[in-house]
A = this chain, B = another copy of it.
Amino acid sequence: MSEVESFFKSAFSVDNVIFGFDGSDLKVLLIQRGAAPFKGKWALPGDLVYPNEDLDTAAERVLEQLTGLRGVYLEQVKAFGAVNRHPLGRVITIAYYSLIKISDYSVTPASFAQSAKWHSLGEVGELAFDHNEILDNCLKELKHKVRMAPIGFELLPPKFTLTELQQLYESILETELDKRNFRKKILSMNLLQDLDEVQEGVAHRPAKLYRFDRKRYVKFVAEGFSFDI
């Protein structure tokens, strides 16, 4: 049995759906595979898990190698383990998704030879392996989670306007929201800190800037408050 055959007899990997938001579209970061199988195809960034590495650690490593970012929001979704999902052998993969600020992402990661590119969700074609299925599952999970926990802020810069926040939610949920009702609801949660600053360089009335108050959120949760949009 060759080295490769032996390794692939039973292996596990992590795959990471990295979401970003460019102000109007929800995007996902994909890499173009440089080697077989599926050479040339777009795929989710992922890697085999090292023998002495926790699953979560492996997911963080993949993310950091590709984006240079550490400490960002990252969550496991589920495992995919169909027998024939990997053409070279039995590999189950654990899917994660993470939320990053596109502005923090450096375009030229040194450690990956593959080209990486942001794709709008509508423009994602056929991916390698079962990655379309993984992406669908992660997106579904994101849609759900973003309504139950204040994770949307992970996709925005530290200072943002209410309109930007609303556009983010509209992109993720793929629905239109009423402006007045949205603002009422968000502001009534008392999770946003009014920075007494306004946008600059816009050709119209500048909007006020807010910041998500994480400390206050933690305190509210301890008191029984639950986020719900």
Contact = CB atoms under 8 A, between A and B. Distances in A.
Given A51-B9, A51-B90, A78 B78 contact: yes
Contacts of A83: 52-54
Contacts of A12: 10, 12, 81, 92
A82 interface: yes
Given A10-B12, A55-B92, A79 B82 contact: no
A11 interface: yes
Size band of the interface chain A makes with B: 20 to 34
A135 B21 CA distance: 35
A209 to B, nearest CB: 35
A79 B55 contact: yes
A142 interface: no
Interface in A57-82: 76-82
A228 B54 CA distance: 36
Interface string A1-30: 000000001111000000000000000000
B81 A54 contact: yes
A94 interface: yes
A10 B9 CA distance: 9
A202 B94 CA distance: 51
A186 to B, nearest CB: 22
Nearest to A53: B83
A139 interface: no
A51 B81 contact: no
A6 to B, nearest CB: 9
A100 interface: no
B52 A81 contact: no
A53 B78 CA distance: 17
A165 interface: no
A49 interface: yes
A56 B78 CA distance: 12
16 contacts: A9-B51, A10-B10, A10-B51, A12-B12, A12-B92, A49-B81, A53-B83, A54-B83, A55-B79, A55-B80, A55-B81, A55-B82, A77-B78, A78-B79, A79-B94, A81-B94
